[in-house]
Amino acid sequence: MVMVDGAYGEGGGQILRGAVALSCVTGKSVTVFNIRGRRPKPGIQPQHLMGIEAAAAISGAEVEGAEIESLDLTFRPRELRGGGRTFDIKTAGSVTLVAQTIIPPLAFADRPSEVRIIGGTDVPWSPPADYFRHVFIPAIRAFGVDASMEVKRRGHYPRGGGEVVLRVSPVRALSPVRSIERAMVQAVRGVSFCTNLPSHVASRQAASAERILKAGGYANVRIASEALSEAGGSPGSGITLWAETGGTFRVGADAMGAREKRAEEVGAEAANKLIGELQSGMACDRHLADMIIIYMALAEGNSEVGVSSLTMHARTMIWLTKLFTGAQWAEGATAGAATIAAKGAGVRNRSL
């Protein structure tokens, strides 16, 4: 039994999600205590509960403590089973955080999977759906994960109701990745959207971002604008940008609309974030690094990536993967940026 202190490091839901995912893939039972111990409302919340239930369904796990506000969870996985499933969060809880939890187990399952997840596609404190499908999923393909995500409907706070379809095919093992400094930026692409708002909101976000990017020296910029109408859905807007370099990773950034923010401010925020990430010269943006730690730990062989900044989230995930896999890690620093290297555990699919 692996014992995990849920108050370690940043002490948030990431520890719980990561522990459940790693438990499924390694086959090791886990107890997480002090769940979200550093947060104002500690314990399991609805979006965390759906991630646990989804992972339990995929792994046939025996679970204790899976209830709202629970501070302790014990998770005992069995065999990983792919196939078709639907998971409805029933709130605006993040669909991408649920997807982040279940992709590793699905990649090590016995058959391909198609999973519908219903909830919030673009909500605070989580990767927007466009970042997930245009930055994160291409990154894990480099490790050998055959995955895709389709956005069927946008969902925003407070009503949720968004829907994505996640498709994942199993792998025998993950491949290592080495990508430290990024190549020259070939193009910047993006998606600016608004839901149940005037269509000019999306176009103004895009125009503002494009203006700043071009002023920053990036000439090849193309941002798609989407104005959507979703019956019964909450209004919302956002923009995701990514730089294509021809290298292993795309460098991404995003911003979300809010009542007090003009559309131009939203576009400018995303553009300035992206320019800041690109100034490091590293292959990986700070948020992507958080999300690929688990894949580096599970892969066969030695991985090394350069990242614009090593966050507390990333350090917490490094600590967590050590508990489950025995992966060996090394960190380096260079001119305000960082490198992280892992000798992966070489976990193999027990079903193939």
Cα Rg, the chain, nearest whole Å: 19
Nearest to 55 by CA among 31, 32, 85, 33: 85
Report residue 144 as tokens: 């050998």
Q: What is the rounded end-to-end Cα distance, in angstroms, of the chain?
A: 25
In the sheet that holds 251-256, the strands lie side by side as 221-228, 187-195, 236-244, 251-256
Residue 194, Cα to own-chain centre: how many angstroms?
A: 21
Task: Say if residue 100 carries a ligand binding annotation.
Answer: yes
State the catalytic residue, choosing from 48, 134, 156, 313: 313
User: Amino acid identity of 341?
Assistant: A
Q: Which residue has the tokens 């947060």?
A: 39
Distance CA 16, CA 4 (A): 9
CB atoms within 10 A of CB 53: 16
Q: 266 near 238, Cβ under 8 Å?
A: yes
Q: Is 313 a catalytic residue?
A: yes
Distance CA 299, CA 345 (A): 6
For the chain, list the strands marked E by DSSP. Answer: 2-5, 30-33, 62-64, 73-76, 83-88, 113-119, 146-153, 162-169, 178-179, 187-195, 221-228, 236-244, 251-256, 302-307, 328-334, 337-343
CA distances from 323 to 19, 81, 305 (A): 9, 24, 21
Distance CA 107, CA 14 (A): 19
Which residues participate in catalysis according to the annotation?
313
| Binding-site annotation, residues for ATP | 100
| Binding-site annotation, residues | 100
